[in-house]
Amino acid sequence: MKSESRLLIGAMVMLGFAASALVVIPYVQVANVAPTSGMKPYTSTELRGREQYISNGCLYCHSQQPRAASLAPDAKRGWGRASVAGDYAFDTPHLLGTMRTGPDLLNIGARQPSVQWHLGHLYQPRAYVPGSIMPSYPYLFVIKAQAEPGDVVVHLPEGNAPAGKVVVATPEAQELVSYLLSLDRTHTVREQES
Amino acid sequence: MSTSVILASAFVLSFVALLVFIWSQRHGLFSRDSTGANVIFGAEEIGRAEEPAVTSTAAHALQQQVNRASGKIAAPASASDLRTRAAADESSTPVVFFMFCAAFAWLLVATAAGLLASYKLHEPDFLTQHAWLTFGRVRTLHLNAVAYGWAPMAGLGIAMFVLPRLLGRPLLGGGFAMLGAALWNAALISGLASIAVGINDGLEWLEIPWQIDVLFVAGGLLVAVPLVLTLAKRKVEHLYVSVWYMACALFWFPVMFVVANIPGLHRGVEQATMNWWFGHNVLGLFYTPLALAAVYYFLPKVIGRPVQSYNLSLLGFWGLAFFYGQVGGHHLIGGPVPAWLITLSIVQSMMMVLPVIAFTVNQYQTLEGYLSALRYSPTLRFIGLGGLMYTASSLQGSFEALRSVNAVTHFTHYTVGHSHLGLYAFVTLVFFGAMYFIVPRVTRREWPYPRLIAAHFWLSSIGVAIYVIALCVGGWLQGEAMLDAGKPFMDSVSVTLPYLKARTVGGALMGLGHLVFATHFACMIFNLGPRRIGATLLGEAPAGAP
């Protein structure tokens, strides 16, 4: 090899092949796909909760892409049908995830619609799921001697709240839960979309 | 026209194009003539070992091993060749030293963050009061400190050292690279701080906010300036294969980084495919070529024997460039992405076996008969093991992309084990080896405590062995449990616990190795420890050369 320009042009052509396969063609094919029927854009509270989901790194342990029955028993675990591109029409950035240290969350809002469960579970996951290795998030809560008007008090299972105190959810915790509850892609998918 | 027809024709077309391309680049691909491999040596220098990482006594023993293996006594290198090389080394010293100092700092930061994240995964109530110490952020700090701190600073520092040697002249415009590296590190400090306070772009490998990414791009471009200037004024006719890898890595990375970080362009599922196009290519088209360039330079240099099948190494280069770029889609197998894309990525993942075999055969042929040199040369030991792990991690990766294997391993700790086999056991060990070679040239003294090098080697290699084996076994069991609909999800969590603890042990050993290495480096800088006479600086350099 005697010519550096031929080398670099060749190298860029190679990268161009890769970029057209993995970036350009998908952009043409799915970037502007229509939302699946029945989906609504996120509310501003839910979007702020989504920011909490990102900033606390939830996506590193939870995927948001149930797989088809031919590949994995995701549906049997109650995680929902295999997702399609239209399910993510409102998702920027995408949060598909790569790990299932914890369960898939694309339909957690349908599977567990209780605000109190989610708040308590964020405060101390092991109070609800023995053996869970999810971190607890005490910094999303305030411990008070007494609840004040307007406070959202978390009702924890016996023995998990600090003695004589109440656990109050911060706005961040409430927003995060409202995002989790919005995760519901159980509406049916038309044949041509699947 | 159906997608499969488009896919098949695109594939055939590009494959033919690749073959024609390689042919046009290099007539006589399989000829035995490979004078190009000799350009890293001076006239008559083949057969002469260069290993600055050892004491002069050990260097003598190494040379004897090399003489025995090659069956002849090597002639001393010519004075003019040594002078050229000494001038090349001297020209790159400031920028290499700066980048290595940064690399050491980021290595320690990344180790601390990684260890904490690993520990938290089996002790989830440890240090939970502060948002910046939560698992999700510490883990991300670890990844970014490795991905944008340790790996590029070490890899680019090595490239800056090797380029002037390979181009036969002093480095031009080293000051630009220095400024670039400073900008780069400033960007990384702000990037990590923003992740710690919870501001991030939400994409794996691309967490640092795009506003800060602008600084990375500026820094990266400045680092590439000396490459371009020195290439333009080079004194050698033939560009050695290491130059290909380094030059292309330096051009590939900025393009990928810019495309991936354009704000507001990528959306939904397309953003996911782009995410893994970047996430996998930053490994395959940035760290891997930088590390392979180091293997192709230092391995033959240390034992004084040219690469045995030089043409094969060129095949390996173009194979990597073509196939690796398209493998990223295997991160989305089973996901909501077009089926043709997954198939393409699986096919190209398997095709990666070709360049990997080309590299492996080459490494084997070059080292054949010279294995005893491993005992005497720390550089060779780190790089030899690292090269072997390139083969291991690439083959593992290829098979991991198969649907049947992927169904089990996807979404599990197996992937994390695999990534550490690649980025640590391969890339990082190779960088360690190259740094043991380079630092004595930069600081102009030899490593004061040879035993610390041995301790570092064993701590790192045993540590990463425990790490990778534990996570691959644990991850496989986790995946099997998850596929069994009869088992509750929590079974897939509890089965991994002993392996996660083993991973912390392995990680702690690796971390101890890094402390040893950093301490040793500090001894070099601050002139501590015994100072031996007769350091092996540039072999028997005659008067006039340092």
Kindly state whether A47 is in contact with chain B, defined as any CB-CB distance less than 8 angstroms: no
Same domain, A82 and A115: yes
Same domain, A53 and A17: no
Nearest CA-CA partner of B331 in B414, B256, B424, B406 = B406
Interatomic CA distance for residues B453 and B44, integer angstroms: 31
Q: How many CB atoms lie within 10 A of CB B170?
A: 18
Q: How many CB atoms lie within 10 A of CB B31?
A: 10
Q: What is the pLDDT of residues B337-347, one digit of tens each?
A: 888 888 888 98
Q: What are phi and psi of A143, to 5 degrees?
A: -95, 125
Residue A78, min C-alpha distance to chain B (Å):
11
- From B261, which residue of chain A is nearest by alpha-carbon distance? A93
Q: pTM of the full predicted structure?
A: 0.93
Cα R_g (chain A), whole angstroms:
22
The domain containing residue A3 runs over which residues?
Answer: 1-32
User: Would you state the pLDDT for residue B532?
Assistant: 60
CB pairs under 8 A between A and B: 242
Residue B201 and residue A93: Cβ atoms within 8 Å? yes
Mutate which: A33, A83, A84, A98, vs B, most B CBs within 10 A: A98
Helices (H), B146-287: 151-167, 174-196, 210-232, 241-261, 268-282
Kindly state whether B193 is in contact with chain A, defined as any CB-CB distance less than 8 angstroms: no
Q: Is residue A194 part of a domain?
A: no
Question: Which residues of chain B does A129 touch, with a Cβ-Cβ cutoff of 8 Å?
Answer: 490
Query: Does residue B78 contact residue B44 with C-beta atoms inside 8 Å?
Result: yes
Interatomic CA distance for residues B193 and B187, integer angstroms: 10
Q: Is residue A193 part of a domain?
A: no
Kindly state whether B271 is in contact with chain A, defined as any CB-CB distance less than 8 angstroms: yes
Nearest CA-CA partner of B168 in B226, B231, B246, B245 = B231
Q: For chain B, list residues with pLDDT below 50.
A: 1, 28-32, 533-546
User: Would you state the pLDDT for residue B534?
Assistant: 44
Task: For CA atoms B419, B422, B427, B429, give the dihedral sign.
Answer: positive
Residue B200 and residue A85: Cβ atoms within 8 Å? no
Q: Is residue A102 part of a domain?
A: yes
Provide the CATH number for the domain around residue A168. 1.10.760.10
Average the pLDDT over A148-175 and give the result. Answer: 94
Same domain, A122 and A179: yes
How far, CA to CA in Å, does B167 sit from each of A76, B33, B97, B234, B290?
Answer: 61, 21, 20, 5, 17
Residue B285 and residue A15: Cβ atoms within 8 Å? yes
Same domain, A86 and A164: yes
Q: Is residue A39 part of a domain?
A: no
Q: Is residue A111 part of a domain?
A: yes
Residue B124 and residue A125: Cβ atoms within 8 Å? yes
Interatomic CA distance for residues B223 and B148, integer angstroms: 14
Q: What are phi and psi of A186, to 5 degrees?
A: -85, -10
Kindly state whether B344 is in contact with chain A, defined as any CB-CB distance less than 8 angstroms: yes
Kindly state whether A10 is in contact with chain B, defined as any CB-CB distance less than 8 angstroms: yes
Three-class SS string for B145-165?
A: HHHHHHHHHHHHHHHHHHHHH
Token representation of residue B382? 């780190």
Residue A33 and residue B322: Cβ atoms within 8 Å? no
Interatomic CA distance for residues B485 and A88, integer angstroms: 27
Mutate which: B273, B282, B351, B412, vs A, most A CBs within 10 A: B273
Question: Which residues of chain B does A47 touch, with a Cβ-Cβ cutoff of 8 Å?
Answer: none
Residue B413 and residue A101: Cβ atoms within 8 Å? yes
Considering only A4-8, A23-27, A147-151, B323-327, which range has the smallest mean pLDDT? A4-8
User: Would you state the pLDDT for residue B338?
Assistant: 87
Which residue's entry shows tokens 């993510």? A88
Same domain, A74 and A114: yes
Residue A23 and residue B259: Cβ atoms within 8 Å? yes
Question: Which residues of chain A does B246 touch, with a Cβ-Cβ cutoff of 8 Å?
Answer: none
Interatomic CA distance for residues B537 and B355, integer angstroms: 35
Kindly state whether A99 is in contact with chain B, defined as any CB-CB distance less than 8 angstroms: yes
Residue A1 and residue B328: Cβ atoms within 8 Å? no
Same domain, A78 and A116: yes
In a 10 Å sphere around its CB, with 0-12 CB exposed, 13-18 middle and 19+ buried, how is residue B536 labelled? buried
Interatomic CA distance for residues B182 and B171, integer angstroms: 18
User: Would you state the pLDDT for residue B136?
Assistant: 97
User: Would you state the pLDDT for residue B409?
Assistant: 96
User: Would you state the pLDDT for residue B169?
Assistant: 93
Nearest CA-CA partner of B118 in B477, B474, B505 = B505
Predicted complex ipTM: 0.95
User: Would you state the pLDDT for residue B35?
Assistant: 75
Q: What is the pLDDT of residues B395-415, one digit of tens each?
A: 999 999 999 999 999 999 999
Kindly state whether B476 is in contact with chain A, defined as any CB-CB distance less than 8 angstroms: no
Same domain, A19 and A57: no
Interatomic CA distance for residues B289 and B173, integer angstroms: 23
Same domain, A96 and A125: yes
- In chain A, the DSSP E strands lie at 141-144, 166-169
Kindly state whether A103 is in contact with chain B, defined as any CB-CB distance less than 8 angstroms: yes
Q: What are phi and psi of B350, to 5 degrees?
A: -70, -35
User: Would you state the pLDDT for residue B78?
Assistant: 81
Same domain, A13 and A97: no
Kindly state whether B120 is in contact with chain A, defined as any CB-CB distance less than 8 angstroms: yes
Kindly state whether B255 is in contact with chain A, defined as any CB-CB distance less than 8 angstroms: yes
Residue B137 and residue A56: Cβ atoms within 8 Å? yes
Specify the amino acid at residue A174: Q
HSE (side-chain half, CA atoms, 13 Å) at B395: 11
DSSP, collapsed to helix, strand or coil, labels residue B411 as strand
% of residues, chain B, pLDDT over 70: 92
Residue B337 and residue A30: Cβ atoms within 8 Å? yes
Task: Select the more confidently predicted residue: B199 or A38.
Answer: B199
Q: What is the pLDDT of residues A43-72, one digit of tens each?
A: 999 999 999 999 999 999 999 999 999 999
Interatomic CA distance for residues A73 and B34, integer angstroms: 55
Residue A21 and residue B326: Cβ atoms within 8 Å? yes
Helices (H), A39-186: 44-55, 108-111, 115-123, 171-182
DSSP, collapsed to helix, strand or coil, labels residue A166 as strand
Q: Is residue A10 part of a domain?
A: yes
Residue B467, min C-alpha distance to chain A (Å):
17
Token representation of residue B499? 């392996």
Kindly state whether A78 is in contact with chain B, defined as any CB-CB distance less than 8 angstroms: no
Kindly state whether A71 is in contact with chain B, defined as any CB-CB distance less than 8 angstroms: yes
Domains and CATH numbers, chain B: 31-526 (1.20.210.10)
Helix H or strand E encompassing B390: helix B378-400
Same domain, A10 and A86: no
Same domain, A63 and A22: no
Mutate which: A8, A58, A96, A134, vs B, most B CBs within 10 A: A96
Residue A75, min C-alpha distance to chain B (Å):
10
Residue A146, min C-alpha distance to chain B (Å):
21
Same domain, A83 and A8: no
Query: Does residue B353 contact residue A48 with C-beta atoms inside 8 Å?
Result: no
Give the one of A19, A57, A85 whose C-beta lies nearest to B269's C-beta.
A85
Kindly state whether B28 is in contact with chain A, defined as any CB-CB distance less than 8 angstroms: no
Residue B274 and residue A26: Cβ atoms within 8 Å? yes
User: Would you state the pLDDT for residue B542?
Assistant: 35
Token representation of residue B500? 């996660």
Q: Is residue A128 part of a domain?
A: yes
Question: Which residues of chain A does B272 touch, with a Cβ-Cβ cutoff of 8 Å?
Answer: 88, 94, 96
Query: Does residue A14 contact residue B327 with C-beta atoms inside 8 Å?
Result: no
Q: What is the pLDDT of residues A69-116, one digit of tens each?
A: 999 999 999 999 999 999 999 999 999 999 999 999 999 999 999 999
Nearest CA-CA partner of B516 in B442, B432, B445, B438 = B432
Residue A87, min C-alpha distance to chain B (Å):
9
Segment 49-108 of chain B within 8 Å of chain A by CB? none
Interatomic CA distance for residues B272 and A22, integer angstroms: 10
Interatomic CA distance for residues B427 and B361, integer angstroms: 19
In a 10 Å sphere around its CB, with 0-12 CB exposed, 13-18 middle and 19+ buried, how is residue B256 labelled? buried
Kindly state whether A29 is in contact with chain B, defined as any CB-CB distance less than 8 angstroms: yes
Kindly state whether B14 is in contact with chain A, defined as any CB-CB distance less than 8 angstroms: yes
Residue B252 and residue A8: Cβ atoms within 8 Å? no
Strand partners, B411: A99
User: Would you state the pLDDT for residue B181?
Assistant: 97
- From A23, which residue of chain B is nearest by alpha-carbon distance? B274
Interatomic CA distance for residues B400 and B276, integer angstroms: 15
DSSP 8-state secondary structure symbol assigned to residue B376? T
Q: How many domains does chain A have?
A: 2
